[in-house]
Structure formats: C-alpha cells, structure tokens
C-alpha cells in the first residue's frame, strides 16, 4: 500500500480546517449571547410540546425570509408553540441563516424544558412561547449588555448620543421597508464617532415600535451609565450603540 494514500485526505482536512476557521472568524469572539428562560411552565422530554418545539426550531434557518424575519407556530391548545426569529437588518440572507441556526441550537441548550424562552445572539433574536406573541409589543423579558469602558465626559456624550438616537427613532418605526430599522453614525467633536443601530420586529405597529425604542433609549442611563457601548434587548426592539463601527454601512445605505 502506498504511504502517500493519506495525502489527499490530509490536504482535504487542512482545507476543511481552514474553511472552518474562516467561517468562524465571522463570529466575533467571544460571541455575544444573552438569554432569558422564563419560569412559566415546563415541558417534558417525551411530550408533544417538545416535538412541536423541535420541529419549529429546525424550520427557522431554512425558512427565514429575505428580510431576516420568521414567525410560525405549531400545535394546538397547551401544546401550541409560537416562535419569532429576527436577524439584524444589515445581514446578508446567508449570514442570517447561519446565525439563526446557531441561536436556535443555543437556546435549547440554555433553556431546557422551559416553555418560554428568548435568546439575543450577536446578530439575531429567537423567542418562543406557549402564549400568543404575534403582533403584540413586548418590552420584557428585558436585558442589556455594555462595554466596561466609560466615556470621558458623560454629559457631552449623552447630548450627542440622544441627537443621534432621536434622528433614528422615527426612521426605524416608520421605515417603509419590511425591515423596521435605522442606523447611522454621528461625529463627536470631543470624543469618538458614535454608531447606532435600532430595529423592531416587523409584526408590531409603528407606534409600538417607537414606544419600545423610546423606553430602551431611556434605559441607557439606568442600566449602563457612561458606558461607551450599550445594547438594550427586548423581544420587540433592539437598540445598540458603539464608538466603533459594528454594522455593515454599505448594506444600511442600500436598504434605507
Ligand atoms: C404563563 O402561562 C400561562 C399559561 O400557559 C399564561 O396564561 C400566562 O399568560 C403566562 N404568563 C406570562 C407572563 O407569560
Ligand atoms: C412522559 O414521561 C413522564 C415521566 O418520565 C411520564 O409520567 C409521562 O406519562 C410520559 N408521557 C408520555 C406522553 O409518554
Ligand atoms: C454557536 O457558535 C459559537 C461560536 O462559534 C460556538 O461556540 C457554539 O458552540 C455554537 N453553538 C451551537 C449550539 O452550535
Ligand atoms: C456589506 O453589504 C454589502 C452590500 O449588501 C455586501 O456586498 C458586503 O459583502 C457586506 N459586507 C460584509 C462584511 O458582509
């Protein structure tokens, strides 16, 4: 037997490892994952709720639409599972499918046997529940994430930040695109440019979207005072700002 037989396979494996490394590098490390498992009902591992949930979760990645939104239910009565998934609006459809795949797998691991759960992944949100969630604005469960670095002058920073957030608020809520979002940056003469991104699930009204974003904007100074990057996470809306670029500016200009 030739000792070179392993070579093609070896080369193939190196390519595979490289490929995996490239795919993985799209994930920022450590990847941002926040989640809430609610204590309002459990399912068993052999029951219908579990079967419905598994079927729904595996249907997200192949079925999420070109706008990065997916809403579906399966089952009836107490076994009915409702699910909503939303990708960040600046993603390409293939990226969205990859990230929701990761998020749906993560949420099952993080919240085993919980009938209601939500995960805010770096680039998407997935939630499911046995109670109705479609078309209803939801401010909770609620969470946040923030940078450990603070801005040098809080007062000046918030002045600039709120000008930026105000300018994006209605753009997101009344966006005529099926993607209910807005993103922009604002030069900050005394410090660093601020980049902000706001998005709602498209199943709620513009008024509800605006309300949700307003609450989130107000929350910044309570949860995350002076942090130079903050995410406010709710089921119906997402607000994030940073002092480094973090979204695809080309894509944002294409869609807005
Ligand atoms: C908790 O679950 C019950 C029954 O499943 C439902 O009626 C109730 O609205 C739920 N509460 C919340 C806060 O979701
Ligand atoms: C599921 O398992 C539990 C405990 O393991 C058992 O009590 C219950 O009857 C089972 N249900 C079904 C539908 O098989
Ligand atoms: C999701 O992606 C992260 C980062 O690549 C990885 O560490 C994690 O294992 C993935 N989760 C699942 C359930 O595949
Ligand atoms: C950003 O969006 C543009 C336009 O859709 C796309 O061509 C480009 O590949 C995207 N960049 C990244 C890093 O995904």
The whole-number mean pLDDT for each consecutive block of 10 residues of the chain, a chain of 256 residues, reads 38 37 46 94 97 98 98 97 98 97 97 97 97 97 96 95 97 96 93 96 98 98 96 98 95 74
Residue closest by Cα to atom 1 of ligand 1: 40
Strands 230-233 and 237-242, bridge-based pairing: antiparallel
Q: What is the predicted pLDDT for the residue at 29? A: 59
45 lines ligand 2 (CB under 6 A): no
Place of tokens 């609620």: 142
Closest atom of ligand 3 to 108 CA is: 13
- The Cβ of residue 16 has, within 10 Å, a number of other Cβ atoms equal to 10
Instruction: Please confirm whether the linkage preceding 49 is cis (ω < 30° from 0).
Output: no
Residue closest by Cα to atom 1 of ligand 2: 46
Return d(Cα 198, Cα 241) in angstroms, integer: 9
- Domains (ranges, CATH) in the chain? 34-134 (3.30.430.20), 144-255 (3.30.430.20)
Place of tokens 């009204």: 205
Q: What is the predicted pLDDT for the residue at 20? A: 35
Strands 143-146 and 230-233, bridge-based pairing: antiparallel
Q: At 200, list the tokens.
A: 């709602």
Return d(Cα 123, Cα 136) in angstroms, integer: 22
254 lines ligand 4 (CB under 6 A): yes
């Amino acid at each position: 037997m030739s000792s070179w037989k392993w070579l093609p396979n070896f080369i193939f494996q190196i390519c595979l490892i490289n490929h995996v490394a490239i795919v993985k590098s799209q994930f920022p490390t450590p990847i941002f994952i926040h989640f809430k498992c609610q204590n309002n009902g459990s399912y068993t591992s052999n029951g219908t709720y579990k079967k419905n949930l598994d079927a729904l979760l595996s249907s997200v990645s192949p079925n999420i639409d070109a706008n990065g939104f997916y809403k579906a239910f399966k089952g009836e009565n107490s076994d009915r599972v409702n699910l909503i998934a939303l990708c960040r609006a600046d993603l390409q459809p293939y990226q969205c499918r990859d990230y929701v795949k990761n998020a749906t797998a993560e949420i099952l691991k993080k919240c085993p046997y919980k009938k209601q759960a939500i995960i805010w992944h770096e680039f998407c949100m997935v939630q499911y529940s046995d109670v109705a969630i479609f078309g209803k604005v939801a401010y909770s469960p609620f969470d946040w994430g923030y940078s450990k670095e603070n801005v040098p002058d809080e007062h000046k920073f918030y002045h600039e930040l709120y000008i930026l957030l105000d300018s994006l608020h209605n753009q997101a809520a009344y966006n005529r695109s099926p993607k209910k979002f807005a993103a922009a940056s604002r030069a900050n003469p005394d410090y660093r440019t601020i980049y902000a991104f706001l998005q709602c699930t498209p199943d709620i009204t513009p008024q509800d979207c605006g309300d949700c974003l307003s609450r989130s904007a107000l929350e910044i100074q309570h949860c995350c005072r002076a942090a130079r990057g903050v995410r406010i996470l709710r089921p119906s809306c997402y607000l994030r700002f940073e002092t480094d670029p973090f979204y695809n500016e080309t894509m944002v200009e294409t869609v807005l």
